[in-house]
C-alpha cells in the first residue's frame, strides 16, 4: 500500500471512530475537527452537516454534473444551454398552467 492510500485509510478510520463516538453520545465533535473533515473531503461545513441546499441533491445528479465538468468547453456549454432550455420550458408551462 502506497503512502497516500495509507493516509486515506487512517483518515477514514479517524472519521469512523469520531462518528461512532458522536453517534453513541460519547462526545460532540469540536468545530476544528468538523472543519478538518470538511477540508479533507473538500466540502463546506453546511454541506457536511446536511444544511446545504446541495446536500439534498441525489448522488447520481451530482455525479453527472461532475462528469459534465470534464467535457471540453464548447460541448459543455451546449449541454448546459440545452438543460437551461428544458428548465425554462418547464417553468413556463408551470406558470401558464396556473393561469
pLDDT of residue 73: 92
Q: At what angle do helices 59-68 and 73-97 cross, to 10 degrees?
A: 140
pLDDT of residue 78: 92
HSE of 92, CA atoms in CB hemisphere, 13 A = 6
Torsion sign, CA atoms 90, 70, 9, 40: negative
Phi first, then psi, for residue 83 (nearest 5°) are -60, -45
Delimit the domains of the chain by residue range. 3-56
CA–CA gap between residue 99 and residue 97 (Å, rounded) = 6
Could you give the 3-state DSSP secondary structure of residue 98? Answer: coil
- Averaged pLDDT, groups of 10, the chain, 99 residues long: 72 74 71 80 74 65 84 91 91 81
Q: How far apart, in Å, are the Cα atoms of 23 and each of 9, 37, 73, 84? A: 21, 16, 44, 41
pLDDT of residue 44: 77
pLDDT of residue 52: 66
Cell of 12: 477514514
Amino acid at each position: 500500500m502506497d503512502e497516500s492510500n495509507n493516509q486515506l485509510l487512517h483518515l477514514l478510520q479517524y472519521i469512523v471512530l469520531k462518528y461512532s463516538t458522536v453517534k453513541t453520545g460519547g462526545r460532540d465533535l469540536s468545530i476544528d475537527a468538523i472543519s478538518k473533515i470538511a477540508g479533507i473531503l473538500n466540502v463546506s461545513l453546511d454541506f457536511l452537516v446536511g444544511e446545504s441546499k446541495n446536500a439534498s441533491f441525489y448522488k447520481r445528479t451530482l455525479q453527472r454534473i461532475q462528469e459534465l465538468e470534464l467535457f471540453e468547453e464548447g460541448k459543455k456549454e451546449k449541454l448546459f444551454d440545452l438543460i437551461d432550455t428544458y428548465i425554462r420550458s418547464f417553468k413556463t408551462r408551470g406558470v401558464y398552467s396556473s393561469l
